[in-house]
Amino acid sequence: MINPMIAANWKMHKTIPEAVAFAKQLKEKFPKPGDVDIVIAPPFTALFPVVEVLKDSPIHVSAQNMHWEEKGAYTGEISAAMLVDAGCEFIIIGHSERRTLFGETGGMLNKKIHAALKSGLKPIFCIGETLEERESGATFRIIQKQIKEGLNNIISDDIRKIALAYEPIWAIGTGKTATPPQAQEVHSFIRKTIATDLEYDRASEIVIIYGGSVNPENTDSLMNQPDINGALVGGAGLDFGSFADIIKISER
């Protein structure tokens, strides 16, 4: 049985004191391992302080981005080894904002995933279509292309370490959410694509989470879908009360 994952992507929000205060509240609220894997992704500046707060707790820390090279003349970039050194366990790769605002391609993301796995980080690999692509009937083609490019040459032993996050771009930060049947349809397609195109015979065990204006009001209906194993939470993940409610709703 898959343990649900609820992850908060804070994006470019929270100072170090704000991040530490949130982490302390979260540790106090969820001091022991439960039925949900809790992940928070602070900005780079707050990673190490948050890791220090969450030591000896079941809550995991993720970075929001990384470079694929181990070191070198890459001003402003962070390597996987640096993130591991800071105490990160997870890494978000391929968020739509990285694709659309910073021009990250499938090939670049594939190199990041390989580098993350080599360093022991667990990728949360984001995929999703634009509103124009959905309305033109291209959703499945886009999703399949993103999976095949991003997970190219990933061996079976490593595929199981990757969580996929379906984030329809048209639902991120817009207040719009894919209906549970819409989200389930794509999640089911993702699982089938992993099984067929990647020839992975344990696709039923892969964690696939949904992201796109997730909040306490829609969490239950989304989590009741058979192929939705959790959520990548944006705005609601910045508010402790909302994020804690989403976690509680997701518990079995």
- d(CA 235, CA 115) in angstroms, rounded, equals 29
Whether 167 is catalytic: yes
Whether 13 is catalytic: no
Tokens 């591991």 sit on residue: 84
* Three-state DSSP class for residue 117: helix
Strand pairing partners for 142? none
Q: What is the 3-state secondary structure (H, E, C) of 187-217?
A: HHHHHHHHHHCCCCCCHHHCCEEEECCCCHH
Dihedral sign computed on CA atoms, order 197, 96, 1, 151: positive
Q: Which of 95, 114, 133, 187 is catalytic?
A: 95
Cβ neighbours of residue 202 closer than 8 Å, sequence gap 6 or more: 156, 160
Q: Which of 60, 114, 167, 187 is catalytic?
A: 167
Angle between the N-to-C axes of helices 180-196 and 139-150, in degrees from 0 to 180, rounded to the nearest 10: 40
Task: Compute the CA torsion angle 29, 32, 35, 39 (nearest 10 deg).
Answer: 70
Among all residues, which ones are annotated catalytic? Answer: 95, 167
